[in-house]
Structure 1
């Protein structure tokens, strides 16, 4: 089915830094996720914090006269505002393995709830937590003008009358108001002064940790995914996938284990996993060799050797070389809402798979093909191991993923693999931000297993990367698509450039 590409424009920007402003590593956003209805948006950062945004009315606030003069119908688009934030994870130290566990949030997932309660799963390298976001009633102190009919004498009489009857309950449930035995004259109101304090009720949001799921992974958790049954979820690391019940935190079921008896025989690792959106017994997981396996939990309790289908691009796997094996690794997968297709992202491409076609994808979208001649330089500075996420629209016809120089690529199904829209994640797309250059940190993951193995035979590669035609330090890694609107949230470095609006070619929307 062919579709016309949409035109895109930024509608909101949160936290864009000034040129040259120093970027703290703990402030860099590491994950982003829309709530199932699109009413909320959650981001996690390397400092272990989760920030929540709430959808506003998105109404067009132009005057009626301005709206009547428009030659097209006014269309409101979702807008978000800051709601609350909380510290989800703290840095820890594993004394048994003598290793530090970072507080960085790897994944956040919203849980489906039958009521208006908000539950969020968050995971760092080893621990998963379930949070409940609460709406609290708070008291605010305000000042108000005094009643002119009240004088100092009346206030003194009222004070004596109250103190005399303080032993009697002031409310039917037996509770009484606290009051001092003596009231200083300095706080007594006069006809020219305001009443000392009046309490008013307001709203505030806070988060409470309800469950902690830990001690089930020996390697870094790379993904978590909620099941359609609303009761279970999976967590995946490099070699295992565990099945959890949301109500049980002290045990889980290991449903996939790819760890070989001899670690020297290790050939691939798990890179991402996701439940089918409709069938609670089906899940898919991707590997560093570019394979996507679909497993049915009804077939066996342990599903690592019994997959229902395996999707592989045989044309891409036909000719193997040193670099093609690395760039074939799939960093992210997403099911379409109907569960018929899977979108995958490897280093160079976005691929759309039909579950009924195992030998090749139905569409391939090239993200940064111009970097193919520079794979040697990308390998030397470790950029070739960057993990870009992908997302797709609710109707499954549009797809998006990030690239370098804070660039977002958006494609439409049927428009051709070379067509697409390129956007720079910036409030002013024509300006380039100065990005702080920091030395890459070694990731504690088995994904580095192949990295170290390949390094031993290729230490003489040319390390000059000055010819790369993009800013490798400005990476747009994290993206999420609104479940019902043509709206994309994306995060680059420590800034949430976060809300993009897909608009009809004849329409224009102003930014904020």
Structure 2
């Protein structure tokens, strides 16, 4: 079986509970999986972890949902193609049954919310087809129509085509006209929604993101800079580390080692 390049996994991340798994591929897609509990022992998960049961099988994850996180872009100022490959994924704190995560490619970070939503369906059509035929033939694009004088705003000057002045609707309304009815079913569907887009803050490729313990901020790092973001503010970031030399010819391997140590220490690793 031949594997396409866009289907190759480029990033993988578990959430803090271990119940959810997110993978990102070279095609810019994020796929979510959920852990299935098919065990021989009943009881609370925390109680089972305290017991000394032998491991009889590996944990299994079932497909949950997927969405297109990033698309290929082009930077016209630098004449640079920005591929859609997902570099990093980080889970954020969940709230009200919804899942939150950060995903990034080389230049743009996105904040996603995945939540369940009831499916809405339209159960009735607007017009009864059986009674609509009595109102006259439907004029299609292939049927020629007679030319009548029209005004600039679309009104017709031929009064014989319009309604007479003594026309009135029946007291009970027009029986053949029915409004569509939208019903909310019990079927649930997972809906991904992009809440924030954090862009135009890195001159070099983003290679790491890490959310902080306060649940409100996160950091993003490229080869020479580290920026601090607030999850709710997408148009402003704070540069906390910058090891870019004044002359790029003076760039050495020490700069890259320093940016790595800064990012690890700030993330509390």
TM-score, scaled to structure 1: 0.37
Aligned: 1:48 with 2:28: yes
Query: Which consecutive segments of 4 or more residues in structure 1 shift more than 6 A?
Result: 164-167, 294-297
**Deviation of residue 74 (structure 1)?**
7.3
Q: Could you tell me how far 1:178 is from its partner in structure 2?
A: 3.2
Bigger relative contact order, structure 1 or 2 (CA pairs below 8 A, ≥6 apart): 1
Q: SS in structure 2 opposite 1:26? A: helix
* Deviation string, structure 1 residues 306-356 (Cα, Å, up to 9, x no partner): xxxxxxxxxxxxxxxxxxxxxxxxxxxxx8xxx6xx5xxxxxxxxxxxxxx
Please state whether the residue corresponding to 1:233 is helix, strand or coil.
Answer: strand
Return the alpha-carbon distance in structure 2 between the equivalents of residues 213 and 236 of structure 1.
Answer: 13
**Unmatched 5+ residue regions in structure 1?**
1-20, 62-71, 142-163, 168-175, 180-197, 272-283, 287-291, 298-334, 343-512
> What corresponds to 2:142 in structure 1?
none
Q: Tell me, what secondary structure is at the counterpart of 2:220?
A: strand
CA distance in 1, matches of 2:15, 2:220: 19
1:231 and 1:59 mapped to 2: Cα distance?
A: 36
Q: 1:267 Cα deviation (Å)?
A: 0.7
1:57-456 paired onto structure 2 within 5 Å: 57-60=37-40, 78-138=59-119, 178=180, 201-268=186-253, 269-270=255-256, 286=260, 292-293=261-262
TM-aligned CA deviation for residue 293 of structure 1: 4.5
- TM-score normalised by length of structure 2: 0.68
Q: Distance in 2 between matches of 1:295 and 1:80?
A: 30
In 1, Cα distance between equivalents of 2:263 and 2:30: 31
Give the aligned length: 207
- What is the DSSP-based 3-state SS (H/G/I as helix, E as strand, rest coil) of the residue aligned with 1:216? coil
Change (3 A) 1:294 1:117: closer
Q: How many angstroms does 1:166 deviate by?
A: 8.5
Change (3 A) 1:165 1:229: farther
Report the CA distance between 1:79 and its aligned residue: 1.9
Would you say the 8 A contact 2:229–2:236 is kept in 1? yes
Check 1:165–1:53 CA distance in 2 against 1; reply closer, same or farther (3 A cut): farther
Deviations 1:70-129 (A, max 9, x none): xx7675653210011000000000000011000000001111134322111000000000
Equivalent in the alignment of 2:155:
none
Looking at CA atoms only, which structure, 1 or 2, has the larger radius of gyration?
2
Aligned CA-pair RMSD: 3.3
Cα distance in 1 for residues equivalent to 2:171 and 2:116: 36
CA separation of 1:138 and 1:262: change in aligned 2, threshold 3 A: same
- The separation in 1 between residues aligned to 2:98 and 2:171, in whole angstroms, is 43
**Which structure 2 residue ranges, 5 or more long, are not aligned?**
42-52, 123-169
Stretch of structure 1 that moved more, 93-102 or 112-121: 112-121
Can you list the C-alpha shifts for 1:144-171, whole angstroms capped at 9, x where unaligned? Answer: xxxxxxxxxxxxxxxxxxxx9997xxxx
Distance 2:22 2:83 in 1: 20
Shift of 1:57: 2.1
Alpha-carbon contact 2:118-2:184 (below 8 Å) kept: no
How far apart are 1:296 and its partner, in Å?
A: 7.3
Residues 165/108 of structure 1: CA separation in 2 closer, same or farther (3 Å cut)? farther
Q: Give secondary structure in 2 for the equivalent of 1:256.
A: strand
Cα deviation, residue 294, structure 1: 7.3
Structure 1 residues 136 and 79: CA distance shift in structure 2, 3 A? same
